[in-house]
Amino acid sequence: MSDDTTDSVTLDDLLPTTPDLRAERLAELKRLFPDLFTNEGRLNPDELKRLVEPNEVHETERYEFKWYGKAASKREAFTPTTATLVYDEERSVNPDKADGNMIIEGENLETLKLLLNAYREQVKCIYIDPPYNTGSDFIYKDDYAREVARYWEDTGETAGGVKLTSNPDTSGRYHSDWLSMIHTRLLVARSLLSEAGAIFISIDDHEVANLRRVADEVFGRENFVAQFIWQKMDSPSRNEEDRFHSNYHEYLLVYQRTEKCHFSRMAKEKILDAYPLTLADGRKARRRQLRKNGKNARRKDRPTMWYALESPDKEEIWPIHPKEGWEGRWVLSKGEWKNRSDAGLTEWIKRDYGWAPYYIEIAPQEPTIPWPSIMDYVEQNRQAKAEFTEIMGSSIEFETPKPASLLKAIIEMASNDDDLVMDFFAGSGTFAQAVLQRPDDLLRRKFIVVQVPDSIPADDPIHDLGFKAISSITIERIKRVIEGYGDDPQPIPDAGFKVYRLAKSNFPRCEFKPDPEATDEENVESLRRYIEEKEAAFFLTLDEAGERAVFDEVLLKNGFQLHYSRERRDDFADNTVWEIADPRRKALVCLAWSENIQDATIARLRELAETGDKPFFICLERSLSTTAKWNLKHLLGNHFNAF
């Protein structure tokens, strides 16, 4: 919060929002290039233009990718949200074993914004399978920020997720609507990726070219890594029989966040077949010619590889082609040859043209190859549907689940043990299943998956089985994977997840509607009165679940991950103070809504600060007197936040 003077406080200061990324970007730009700003602190577009065009060359034509709604989609990505995530204990599975695993039910753009403060640059690998723009499929309509009430009606908060609507190819904005949807989400997703992270995006022919151009803008063309081809079927579908070709494949685009990203190589046991020798110590090996063949095999290319060797007959052997007579070169330097000879890893073999030197190459302990861009090493839709049926039963159908083997390959490519991975178009939950079904000798990755609660029609047989929304299928699938399924169930020990729902803020102040006819100062004062009247009554009626929801919201919006630990501090006698810790940071939190922060509490905070262990302290603003707030602000500085 700002200080108490109305003149310096805005409406946004009094609302529990996520970070304002637009303000952050401007502040960082000002920090790096203060000369681009006016004396009043505003960005000077003329100076910015001179930076881009130092010679003031004004071109009217340039290469750029535009569509209707692009500017609005970028604004939407960086607009804060007042929403929150509410823990759903009833639908969570083994929550004490979740260790950061989360399934979030809600519209994914607002959810990503909520995660941003706590999980920024913490995600190692993101996979998404967004709705394909086929005309009959659905696209997300980003009316959440503009029409919040409708969202809560749809999701069941007041009467669930943003509505999904068809995008017919007869629409004048057929491509633009889809591009805006994906552009906004990729912008936020990039901020969640660690510097060593990567994103994998499934797509088909309808938008693959446009997706490449959007992703080039968001991640940078230099960070494009690969475009894999995945064979989804091995025979034509019926609706393609009248076409001259059958579409058997989809694409998987891969972008890295920065050049610090490191991808694994594909484990390939068949590599050992190329090493037919077995050494005395049991190692696999193969015999390689010392003489270089082919391109760049001449003496002039590598003069240090031109030297004589002594054969078993004491003959001087040079790297000269035995039949053609041209000068070549050796593969190893003279020193490397000697070292291998001393280790017994060289051989001389008598050929029809004379003695030929060979060296012994040891097989790698863990043989790998680069991942082939044609993914014939993963299963197809047919196997994916069979796997889904085995887990969920034949009475539940899902149109296009991805095979778990595809997602396992992605996870293996771009993450390591204990990394956080994410899918924010979770669908039936295949990604979370792939994370959980790791080999026993590997630590499990932590997953966050997000699925909008798109309603299942009441006349759908699945609805009668208790599945009211797609997200309920997501949750149930992962529950069955953990508990075991099929004729030979294989439960996954020590695994669990927590379920959270996207919901409106617990703070009644977010319902405040400013008067468009009033001044900013008048609206701020009105909001203060609204907070005092509404929240005083609200906090007095909170039950245990409500207190947990407020606690989670305050911590999430202060940058704490949701799998935090909480322990009461005994050294604060006059207020209930909790020590909060997540994998990155700690804080002391006192959410005393029915009492004020006492002088003894502030005195104890001063003692901690004076010993050099300055704590981060979070409390409710309504529990502070003006004097207490002033004291804490000057004592702790930016280690203090009154919410």
Cα–chain center distance at 276? 43
Which residues contact residue 609 at a Cβ distance below 8 angstroms, ignoring those fewer than 6 apart?
615, 635, 636
Distance in angstroms (rounded) separating the CA atoms of residues 562 and 378 = 34
Distance in angstroms (rounded) separating the CA atoms of residues 412 and 268 = 13
pLDDT for 279 equals 92
pLDDT for 154 equals 52
Q: Which ranges of 20-81 does DSSP label H, i.e. alpha helix? A: 21-32, 45-52, 70-77
Contact 225, 263 (CB under 8 A): yes
pLDDT for 348 equals 96
Q: Which ranges of 415-460 does DSSP label H, i.e. alpha helix? A: 430-436
What does the pLDDT look like over 510-567, one tens digit per residue? 778 888 888 888 888 888 888 777 777 777 777 888 889 999 999 999 999 999 999 9
Query: Would you call 437 exposed, middle or buried from its count of C-beta atoms within 10 A (0-12, 13-18, 19+)?
Result: middle
pLDDT for 163 equals 52
pLDDT for 189 equals 96
What does the pLDDT look like over 566-583, one tens digit per residue? 999 999 999 999 999 998
pLDDT for 339 equals 95
The structure's pTM equals: 0.79
Which residues contact residue 229 at a Cβ distance below 8 angstroms, ignoring those fewer than 6 apart?
249, 250, 251, 252, 373, 374, 375
pLDDT for 593 equals 74
Contact 506, 515 (CB under 8 A): no
Q: Which stretches of the chain score pLDDT less than 50?
A: 1-7, 57, 59-60, 143-148, 158-162, 441
Q: Which two tokens stand for residue 487?
A: 């004729």
Angle, helices 70-77 vs 174-192, to 10°: value is 30
Q: For residue 178, which of 216, 218, 134 has the smallest C-alpha distance?
A: 134
Q: For residue 384, which of 403, 398, 368, 356 has the smallest C-alpha distance?
A: 403
Q: Is 290 helix (H, G, I), strand (E, B) or coil?
A: coil
pLDDT for 391 equals 92
Contact 83, 503 (CB under 8 A): yes
Q: Which domains does the chain have, with CATH numbers?
A: 15-77 (no CATH), 84-237+246-265+373-502 (3.40.50.150), 274-362 (no CATH), 542-642 (no CATH)
Distance in angstroms (rounded) separating the CA atoms of residues 439 and 293 = 42
Q: Which ranges of 501-543 does DSSP label H, i.e. alpha helix? A: 520-540
Q: Which amino acid does the sequence have at 590?
A: C
Distance in angstroms (rounded) separating the CA atoms of residues 337 and 75 = 63
